[in-house]
Amino acid sequence: MKTIMTVLGARPQFVKAAAVSRAIAEEARLQEHIIHTGQHYDPSMSDVFFEEMEIPRPHHHLGVGGGSHGAMTGEQLRRIEDILLSEQPDWVMVYGDTNSTLAGALAAAKLHIPVAHVEAGLRSFNRRMPEEINRVLTDHLAELLFVPTQGAEQQLQREGIAPERIHLTGDVMLDAALHYRKRARPPAWFDALGMEPGGFLLCTIHRAENTDSPQRLADIFKGLAAAKLPILLPLHPRTRKTLERLQLKPAAQVHLVPPVGYLEMTWLEMNCQTVITDSGGVQKEAYFHGKPCLTLRDETEWTELVDLGVNTLTGADPERIAEYLNAPPCAPSCGDVYGDGRAARMIARILAES
């Protein structure tokens, strides 16, 4: 029996881990222990996912959230190292590109514990993004790299990573979307807003490049004001704090609501007209649920969606946002660029046999 120590801490990692933890539980040769770094800590950013998605309770909760990049990553690194030294797992598994990802990978690699990286090989080629630093370093620390797309696989090969360490599994977020969509449900407050299914736009904004720039954030809200349909915007705490600080008031048709759980978010994605986002995960979920996506960034890691014509990059340009909202494209149908929904099972099998 091998022990996998999973290190996670931020919202998108709970979604990915929900799919993989279930597959590990079904694999007799593996057992999983979870470290939650505490990077995301509000109940609506953390607990709700563990409850709704039935993720196993973390064995360790570090309570390290907030603060600068160095302070957060450094404190997580120190605490994860202590746990790894005492538990000596066979593998450490990390997801995506957050500070918790890098802290887990670095702590393990220095102790010669092999690292498995889920969602490896993604690149924006923008080193000003903290995520780009985290994902490049994590990929080069990892022993096993699970990639969601062929493009990610080719990127890792270009960077000199040995082909036998790279496994093209598909995207575990597709596994999660397919598994949980049967349980999708509207938020309790949805009817009270007077919106109809199909009659609203769904928006999320949290990326540092947008929230740390008053000009970009103001430009985005200027662009959103052109929408003819109401916009529902579940607000990430980072963005809420910036809006409060800047005293920025969105236009009347933009409805700010607290972050929602995954089952509610899935329902909103399935029932909106168009998705507007700067999130990585939400860009793909728009495609999984057959919705066109406007991405409020200058580049994306998920370039295949742009190539397919279902994702449009507008950056924070108010005119391009308004132009898109006045003539949104037709809903796409979901193809197979992200695999067949069985990525998590493949990951568990490879780990058991490695």
Footprint of ligand UDP (CB under 6 A) = 11-12, 15, 204, 206, 234, 259-262, 265, 279-282, 285
Instruction: Name the active-site residue from 40, 60, 167, 206.
Output: 206
State the pairing for strand pair 274-277/254-257.
unpaired
Instruction: Compute how many residues bind ligand UD1; rule: CB under 6 A.
Output: 19
What is the rounded CA–CA span in Å between residue 311 and residue 353? 37
Residue 10 engages ligand UD1 in binding (rule: CB under 6 A): yes
139: contact with ligand UD1 by CB under 6 A: no
Query: Residue 39: which of ligand UDP, ligand UD1, none does it interact with, CB under 5 to 8 A by kind?
Result: ligand UD1
Tell me how far apart the alpha carbons of residues 175 and 179 are, in angstroms, rounded to a whole number: 6
| Cα dihedral value 317, 319, 322, 327, nearest 10 | -110
Helix orientation angle between 280-288 and 172-180, rounded to the nearest 10 degrees: 50
State the binding partner of 300 from ligand UD1, ligand UDP, none, CB within 5 to 8 A by kind: none
- CA distance readout (Å), 13 to 172, 192, 311: 10, 31, 23
Residues present in the chain in total: 354
Q: Which of 4, 7, 12, 109 binds ligand UD1 (CB under 6 A)?
A: 12
Task: Please count the other Cβ atoms lying within 10 Å of the Cβ belonging to residue 143.
Answer: 16
Closer residue to ligand UD1 in complex, CB, 238/349: 238
Q: Pick one of ligand UDP, ligand UD1, none as the site partner of residue 345 (Cβ within 5 to 8 A by kind).
A: none
Q: Residues 42 to 61: which contact ligand UD1 by CB under 6 A? A: 42, 45
CB of 124 to ligand UDP, least distance (A): 12
Among 117, 167, 206, 345, binds ligand UD1 (CB under 6 A): 206
206 is catalytic: yes
Q: Which of 33, 41, 61, 226 binds ligand UD1 (CB under 6 A)?
A: 41
Determine if 11 is a binding residue for ligand UD1 (CB under 6 A).
Answer: yes
DSSP 308-325: TTSEEE-TT-HHHHHHHH
Note whether 122 and 116 are within 8 A (CB). no
Q: Which residue stretch of 4-12, 27-35, 115-123, 260-268 sits at the interface with ligand UD1 (rule: CB under 6 A)? A: 4-12
Residue 39 makes contact with ligand UD1 by CB under 6 A: yes
Closest contact distance (angstroms) between CB of 197 and ligand UD1 is 26
- Among 32, 131, 301, 304, interactor with ligand UD1 by CB under 6 A: 131
The C-alpha atoms of residue 200 and residue 180 are separated, in whole angstroms, by: 22
Residue from 283, 302, 301, 279 nearest 292 by CA: 283
By CB atoms closer than 10 A (0-12, 13-18, 19+), residue 164 is exposed
Side-by-side strand order, sheet with 115-118: 60-61, 30-36, 2-8, 91-95, 115-118, 144-147, 166-168
Nearer to ligand UD1, 238 or 320 (CB): 238
Residue 285 in contact with ligand UD1, rule: CB under 6 A? no
Interface with ligand UD1, residue 135, by CB under 6 A: no
124 interacts with ligand UD1 by CB under 6 A: no
Residue 99's binding partner among ligand UD1, ligand UDP, none (Cβ under 5 to 8 angstroms by kind) is: ligand UD1
Please list the active-site residues.
206
